[in-house]
Amino acid sequence: MQARFIAPWKDSLEKPVIYHCLSRVVERRFAFGKTDKEQLRTYMRMYENFSGCRVLAYCFMCNHLHLLLEVPPLPVGGLSDAGLLQRLRFIYSEAFVAEVAKRLGTFRKDGNEGAANELHRKFTYRMHGLSEFMKGFMQRFTQWFNRRHERTGGLWEDAFKSVLVEDGVASRTMAAYIDLNPVRAGMVADPADYRWSSYGEAKGGGPRGNGKKARAGLVRALTAHKGYEADARHWAGRVSKDYRMLLLDEGEEQLKEVRCDDGHLAVKVVRKGVKKAAVEAEMARLERSRDVALGQMLRSRVRYFSDGAVIGSREFVDRVFQACRERFGGNRRSGARKLRGNATAAAGALWSVRDLHKGIG
């Protein structure tokens, strides 16, 4: 079986194409400190802007990284000259972009459309593609890391892993799984306290902004199946509240006025458990929408999320299986495989194209 599944509908303007990507440092050594993680985020955003791909969720750990990446197709009709030059500015110098602009201008003036289109293709083949995004992002960081740490050679362990993820329950679950990495590792109790993750950036603002990019990505991860675009304005309200409840798995947060020892009033964040009736109503709603209560499961390592190849509803996985039928043995009749081990809580709502018999928890 080939190592990577690419969505059969990758050129669709309607159905999202989302992947969970995982890459580990060679020998899994703990290589990344604070400065390294900040630079990872910088290059991630640079290549996100250059490529047209969207980072929906991410987490940078000390020896590996996770990305939930949406790969939209190129705009209908391709990029205009102005659009191409704008993209190039995210990863190239102004001098380089000026030279490309000069060449494009000369080609257009001379009526040499073929040469202009070829110059576009020189760059656009690296856009709107999973492998090219990861290649550019990871190579650029490796070059920086090697210079900073006075080392040579490869940084990453083999090729990155990728799992094709359905929008909806699967992408929401995968985003939470990614954001909970530092909680599973015992680094923080609250994922909002980890700076180098999508949720930490969304809550804390990040080093250069107000967290708008991170909030927009999470909105898309949680609500793409409802037609929501990556727009940070949708983060406030139910979207952020429901996501935080999933991450914390302990009810809601409320603001409460408390009197300090010196007599002054202060506002304190307190946790309030959800009443039994509310829990039952919520569980009924989740059951109707094929969602699941995943909080506890997400605090364990789920191998399907890195090695399952395709994750989503049964219909989604079977659809991919039928589109890629030639990649499987002739005796296999269906695609969807039930989740087991640590992923049992999601069984029936999420399915995998791979049946992982060993090391699943």
Per-residue pLDDT tens over the stretch 222-251: 999 999 999 999 998 889 988 998 888 644
Both tokens of 20, joined, read 């969970």
| pLDDT on residue 260 | 52
CA 108/CA 75 separation, integer angstroms: 21
Give the angle 105-111-117 at the CA atoms, nearest 5°: 70
Q: What is the pLDDT of residues 93-130, one digit of tens each?
A: 999 999 999 999 999 999 999 999 999 999 999 999 99
Residue 150, Ramachandran bin (φ over 0: left; ψ between -120 and 50: alpha; else beta): left
Cβ-based neighbour number of residue 165 at 10 Å: 30
| pLDDT on residue 214 | 95
Cβ-based neighbour number of residue 186 at 10 Å: 7
| pLDDT on residue 272 | 43
Residue 227 main-chain phi, psi, to 5 deg:
90, 5
Cβ-based neighbour number of residue 134 at 10 Å: 22
| pLDDT on residue 346 | 86
- Output DSSP code: residue 26: G
| pLDDT on residue 295 | 67
| pLDDT on residue 271 | 41
DSSP 178-199: HHTHHHHTTS-SSGGG-TTBHH
| pLDDT on residue 266 | 46
Residue 59 · residue 36 · CB < 8 Å: no
Listed as ranges, residues in the chain with pLDDT below 70 are 1-3, 205-209, 249-295, 358-361
Ranges of each domain in the chain: 18-73+131-248+291-352, 81-127
**Residue that the structure tokens 């550019």 belong to:** 136
The helices-and-strands tally (H runs, E runs) of the chain is 13, 9
- 18-73+131-248+291-352 maps to which CATH number? 3.30.70.1290
